[in-house]
Chain A
């Protein structure tokens, strides 16, 4: 079937079977491999993308469900110059990245939180990340990066 939606700000149209997940659509039909598969049952959050600005596990969304809607993947999170945006830069600066496999999902969960809450407490950040498993970092530097970005974005207004 034909699936039409807005992908990272641009219109997208894909011919794909109806029974596949959004994760498969992104990775196998659109070659957007920044979205990762860690469990395929919606437990690990490695495949987190934004669907109409809300974080979802792409492995649990049927591809046709995104028809007419807005999807943001890690490939759509960039500074205007194409480099890392402020949150991604904070992940680098705070040492929040180790193996990196969970990081695209973490960045998107972080962006979703920061869009909804400009002044998140550390507890609120931890709650927002509770669906994104990380086996390397112990989460602390990821929380640091998101908290600092929130502060800097508030200062910038």
Chain B
């Protein structure tokens, strides 16, 4: 890799200054005169038929200016991707406790509260279904009148079914001398972005259009949904994304409902309308990481050679499909882990239930299956008496191997390097054997035990064979010789604007300070697909590089014209263009000459992902154009008197390709591991008969600074040819193997496998929960206003 000037060097995040000064304006910080406050009326029952919603009494309350129901929208506001099963406001059915039924806009918070209370609502409660396996049984209550909108989808509550097939797993399993057959489960997880959902709609004069400021992940999807459900022309809807206070996959579908509601209310009233969720409303209404039940069978030879895997997982999609068909497909692709098998069968069923609803969350289906397979692999290694890292090294995918999907991998497979590096930096062998020697089989009462555990990850980059995969960036030179850069991909805290800026600076040889990267705005940038699935660095980075190369080509043309030489003879040094006679001209002068030549000093760059394909029937193909690999080790201390687990050390080695923004990549890794630690030990979304139990941070616990150990991260920078400057993505993979690494460490410490997440006190101490099912039906649906 040639020497770089900005790529891989410490850099300043483009939006850090406004954030440390407190001047960054998030959507709830916008203050426009005459703004109305709005909120949705949400269902307090999980499943019901809507008999009637009468807004008349609410409209009589002084200060209430508008009340809307699904009637206010085209086709009742039906939307959703890939399955159109949601509405801007519930139509015919309530499918979960928290489903939005109506929305009110009012002059004051007091009028809003009275207005919501005055809406006359007639619901006929229906029996709900809350266990995904039960939902798939014949005779189970059906979730919704018409839960699916596609004739291709199976009937009943079965939303999707995905398979991976290689060989005859059953036969090979029967032939294996060592086998494992276990059940694992993961729970829903709340994104817990610190900034709750918010949107502000500003009607245009004459009410023929609307501008919406929203902290959604993908402004283009927001615009598309508003256009479709409000029946507006695309040119009459503009969506601008202000700074977003975290998303992690969680600010898609619910936000599209929210933007539709505020846009409609703004157009009806002719006034700006703002909706800001309280934490309680956010947790009750928003979708979660899906919960998953997994049945895993593995078989290997006595020498530790893995031969077969057979996995059947059931995914709880909850009340709506949202993006779960995609996450579940990703689950099926990653369910067997990054290992070689003679035979592999994966089946993933996706079920509708009346438990909230599920959608995208960092890892996107892989975090869930990794928690299963990485424990299962560990269990098998321990049964054989093999070191768990050695077992993984013996079986892991290496350059040139074929995956169980039939994809032959290239050279960019660094999993073995990651496993070896993490073994070295964690001092694995010495610590594991010291712990083994120091701790007896039997646990003394109240003894503090220690343990180390490992887990590995592979993670397909970008969308894979699930849809069109491209990104577009633009670069333009302004009159003052500064540059403006846009991308249709959004930065909700990830650092992608900084990554794109550094790539443009590197490619053009210009100081990053010269380049101003705009925030996403549907009027100034180009649709680049959703900002999900760790797409940004590779997709948006490549598009930015293409745009910068095209602009550079224009400037080189101008420089050649100025020097009277061939383009090929021009050399660039810092911000200067050098002639064959070593005459140097600064950037500004070349730009000035380019203008005098009449050149258009702007460029658009588009990058399309390499082709993928997948046969959904045969369960084979090339699901992703490349994979990120990584390995992590956790060290835990377990108080066997209380069941309390402290993670006291953490090491991670990830194959990121070339690192572009060093502080950013470390931040993604540390943050991902911290979310994985929460997933492993404390984060617990309980739906009790459809009622969510924890609705704020007093009960839904996320890791604090004291829960997280000092993390040591290293990067295996094996350049990834299709990536910009050889970069891979990092957004999701840091989180994925964390939970199983911790659970495997708990096993070394206690000899107990916690196969159901999270490993909370009672599960670690007793192996089961203390709380009885159905003991707490109370859902705190007293949805209070934000700031009230």
Binary flags per residue of B224-255, CB closer than 8 Å to A gives 1, else 0: 00000000000000000001111110000000
Q: How far is the CB of B35 from chain A (nearest CB, A)?
A: 12
Stretch at the interface among B188-196, B301-309, B344-352, B719-727: B188-196
Binary flags per residue of A37-79, CB closer than 8 Å to B gives 1, else 0: 1111101101000000000000000000000000001110110
Binary flags per residue of A113-152, CB closer than 8 Å to B gives 1, else 0: 0000000001001110111111111111111000000000
Binary flags per residue of B391-425, CB closer than 8 Å to A gives 1, else 0: 00000000000000000000000000000000000
Q: State whether A41 touches B493 (Cβ < 8 A).
A: no
Residues of A with C-beta under 8 A to B194: 36, 38, 44, 46, 99, 101-102, 133-136
Q: How far is the CB of A139 from chain B (nearest CB, A)?
A: 4
Contact A98/B278 with A135-B192, A138-B711 known, Cβ cut-off 8 Å: no
Q: State whether A139 touches B21 (Cβ < 8 A).
A: no
A85-101 at interface with B (beta carbon < 8 Å): 88-89, 91-101
Q: State whether A95 touches B663 (Cβ < 8 A).
A: yes
Q: Is B705 located at the chain interface by the 8 A CB criterion? A: yes
Residues of A with C-beta under 8 A to B195: 36, 38, 99, 101
Q: State whether A75 touches B22 (Cβ < 8 A).
A: yes
Please report whether the interface of chain B is mostly helix, strand, loop or mixed according to DSSP: loop
Interface size on B, residues (CB 8 A): 61
**In the complex, what distance in Å separates the CA atom of A23 from the CA atom of B192?**
21
Pick from A99, A100, A129 the residue with the most CB of B within 10 Å: A99
Q: State whether A99 touches B246 (Cβ < 8 A).
A: yes
Q: State whether B22 touches A138 (Cβ < 8 A).
A: no
Residues of A with C-beta under 8 A to B19: 97, 100, 103
Q: Is A27 located at the chain interface by the 8 A CB criterion? A: yes
Q: Is B149 located at the chain interface by the 8 A CB criterion? A: no
Q: State whether B704 touches A136 (Cβ < 8 A).
A: no
**In the complex, what distance in Å separates the CA atom of A118 from the CA atom of B196?**
35
B656-694 at interface with A (beta carbon < 8 Å): 662-664, 666-667, 669-675
Q: State whether A99 touches B705 (Cβ < 8 A).
A: no
Q: State whether A99 touches B664 (Cβ < 8 A).
A: no
Q: State whether B245 touches A99 (Cβ < 8 A).
A: yes
Q: State whether A41 touches B244 (Cβ < 8 A).
A: no
Contact A91/B702 with A136-B667, A137-B670, A141-B663 known, Cβ cut-off 8 Å: no
Q: How far is the CB of A92 from chain B (nearest CB, A)?
A: 4
Q: State whether A98 touches B494 (Cβ < 8 A).
A: yes
**In the complex, what distance in Å separates the CA atom of A98 from the CA atom of B246?**
8
Residues of A with C-beta under 8 A to B704: 129-131, 133
**In the complex, what distance in Å separates the CA atom of A129 from the CA atom of B705?**
6
Q: How far is the CB of B649 from chain A (nearest CB, A)?
A: 13
**In the complex, what distance in Å separates the CA atom of A36 from the CA atom of B673?**
25
Q: State whether B246 touches A136 (Cβ < 8 A).
A: yes
Residues of A with C-beta under 8 A to B702: 133, 135
Q: How far is the CB of B653 from chain A (nearest CB, A)?
A: 16
Residue of A whose beta carbon sits closest to that of B29? A33
Q: How far is the CB of A42 from chain B (nearest CB, A)?
A: 9
Q: Is B16 located at the chain interface by the 8 A CB criterion? A: yes
Residue of A whose beta carbon sits closest to that of B663? A95
Q: Is B55 located at the chain interface by the 8 A CB criterion? A: no
Q: How far is the CB of B536 from chain A (nearest CB, A)?
A: 13
Q: State whether A40 touches B25 (Cβ < 8 A).
A: no
Q: State whether A99 touches B670 (Cβ < 8 A).
A: no
Residue of A whose beta carbon sits closest to that of B20? A88
Residue of B whose beta carbon sits closest to that of A43? B697
Q: State whether B193 touches A84 (Cβ < 8 A).
A: no
Q: How far is the CB of B534 from chain A (nearest CB, A)?
A: 15
**In the complex, what distance in Å separates the CA atom of A28 from the CA atom of B108?**
13
Residues of A with C-beta under 8 A to B269: none
**In the complex, what distance in Å separates the CA atom of A35 from the CA atom of B710?**
28
Residues of A with C-beta under 8 A to B26: 33, 36, 101
Q: State whether B696 touches A43 (Cβ < 8 A).
A: yes
Q: State whether A84 touches B21 (Cβ < 8 A).
A: yes
Q: State whether B711 touches A40 (Cβ < 8 A).
A: no
**In the complex, what distance in Å separates the CA atom of A84 from the CA atom of B15?**
13
Contact A135/B670 with A44-B697, A74-B22, A141-B663 known, Cβ cut-off 8 Å: no
Q: Is B787 located at the chain interface by the 8 A CB criterion? A: yes
Residues of B with C-beta under 8 A to A43: 696-698
B269-324 at interface with A (beta carbon < 8 Å): 278-279
**In the complex, what distance in Å separates the CA atom of A96 from the CA atom of B17?**
11
Residue of B whose beta carbon sits closest to that of A73? B22
Kindly identify which residue among B672, B696, B705, B710 contacts A39, using a CB–CB cutoff of 8 Å. Answer: B696
Instruction: Return 7 A-B CB contacts under 8 Å, by A number.
Output: A34-B22, A38-B697, A92-B12, A126-B705, A126-B706, A135-B246, A143-B705
Point out residues on B near A: beta carbons under 8 Å.
10, 12-13, 15-26, 28-29, 31, 191-196, 243-248, 278-279, 492-495, 662-664, 666-667, 669-675, 696-698, 702, 704-706, 708, 710-711, 784, 786-787
